Amino acid sequence: MENELSERKQKILAAIVEQYIRSGEPIGSKSLMEVLPMKVSSATIRNEMAELAALGLLEQPHTSAGRIPSHSGYRYYIDHLMHARELDDDSRRKIEAAIGEGGDPEHLLSKAGEVLADLTNCAAVSTTPAGESTKIRRIEMVPVGSRTAMLVLLTSTGILKSRICRVDTSITVPLLERFYNVTASQLVGRALADVHTTAMQTLAASLGADAFSLLPLLAAVAELARDAAQADIRLDGQSNLLGYRELEENAYELMEFLRNGEPLNALISSNKEDVHVLIGKENRFRQLSNSSLILARYDVGGEESGTLGVIGPTRLDYAKLIPSVRYLTDLVGRLLTRSMHDEE
């Protein structure tokens, strides 16, 4: 469609999108005359707007009203017309001060979600570092009873998982030593995807007389690895969405969708782009048909690990929010990477 739009149509479309983002009111030809960079009559603007509507880039909410961008209009604007506004130094310092020095992933992402929700006045979404290529950094076993122990697994991206495990034999010093020897030589440094129940059964079978006592512990390690490979999703600022009149009609449905978590997690997990914008009906879930998502992936130690983003109405200031989300996401990745190296 890009070749179908003249320079004048592009300027008119960009002006309508930007004016509508600011005002939330349909844009008429007279108000456009005041902001367009070239002189053109009101009649000419109306004709151009009609042609943009025929192309599906504009909509007319009421018979006598002006025009508003359609979902396709927003998409064209983002892909071809938008000039992203990079954060100034003051905004960056405020974000960095609010986030702090980092720490464990759950705490850092909690702070990042709060900052993002406050910064954008949208709902903020984040996922913990995950991925089957993530490696096991450390495995600990802490006896809490004669036949009960707490197992702790730490990943290369800083995710910590733990669970209580019961065995049928007494947890002795020799058993602890054997467990540490086996996990250090066979499991630490391996990818989470390789540490599954079948692999642990095979490993236990190779341990001879220790197989019976170590199998429950190794099976528990496999369960921890499975949990660590799955991203946990966090939401902040959902109440911000109640302030947008565009979302009033399906506010309850949208809140229920976000509360469920699982469909949203599936949507986020399917994103493989560095920065991804989903506008309205581009979302495959009906509950998000009036909403937009801006999602950005962060890296930990050079590996794609998780996602940060915002959910809001389609009338978002994309030129401002996309750089803000990208900057915060990069900051989270840097802090998690630094934290990972500090613990090594």
Secondary structure of 136-147 in HEC code, one letter for each residue: EEEEEEEECCCC
What is the rounded distance in angstroms from the CA atom of residue 310 to the CA atom of residue 291?
10
Going across the sheet that includes 160-166, the strands are: 136-143, 148-155, 160-166
What is the rounded distance in angstroms from the CA atom of residue 261 to the CA atom of residue 238?
12
In the numeric block, which tokens belong to residue 215?
């199998």
pLDDT tens-place string over residues 234-288: 999 999 999 998 898 888 899 999 988 788 888 887 777 889 999 998 988 999 9
Using CA atoms of 263, 269, 274, 279 in order, give the dihedral in degrees to the nearest 10.
Answer: -20
Spatial CB neighbours of 176, under 8 Å, sequence gap ≥ 6: 141, 143
In the numeric block, which tokens belong to residue 241?
């969405």
Q: How would CATH label the architecture of 136-229?
A: 2-Layer Sandwich (3.30)
What is the rounded distance in angstroms from the CA atom of residue 150 to the CA atom of residue 142?
5
Which pLDDT score, from 0 to 100, does residue 63 have?
66
pLDDT tens-place string over residues 22-54: 998 999 998 898 888 888 888 999 999 999 999
CATH no., domain 89-130+231-343: 3.30.450.40
Percent of the chain beyond pLDDT 70?
Answer: 95
Which pLDDT score, from 0 to 100, does residue 185 have?
94
Quick check: 152 and 161 in contact, CB under 8 A? yes
Mean pLDDT over the full length of the chain: 89
Kindly provide the residue ranges of all beta strands, DSSP E only, lying in the chain, ordered along the sequence.
58-59, 68-69, 123-127, 136-143, 148-155, 160-166, 233-236, 275-279, 291-300, 303-313
pLDDT tens-place string over residues 133-192: 688 999 999 999 999 999 999 988 888 899 999 988 899 999 999 999 999 999 999 999
pLDDT tens-place string over residues 104-115: 788 888 899 999
| Lowest-confidence region among 259-268, 306-315, 333-342 | 333-342
Average pLDDT in the 301-321 region? 89
Quick check: 18 and 57 in contact, CB under 8 A? no
pLDDT-based confidence at residue 64 (cuts at 50, 70, 90): low
Any idea which fold 2-81 has? Arc Repressor Mutant, subunit A (1.10.10)
Which pLDDT score, from 0 to 100, does residue 66 have?
87
In the numeric block, which tokens belong to residue 108?
């850092």
Which pLDDT score, from 0 to 100, does residue 249 have?
85
Domain ranges for the chain, please list them: 2-81, 89-130+231-343, 136-229
pLDDT tens-place string over residues 73-129: 999 999 999 998 888 898 889 888 988 876 778 888 889 999 999 999 999 999 888
Q: Which of 105, 74, 76 is nearest to 280 (CA)?
A: 74
Element (H, E) at 72: helix 71-76
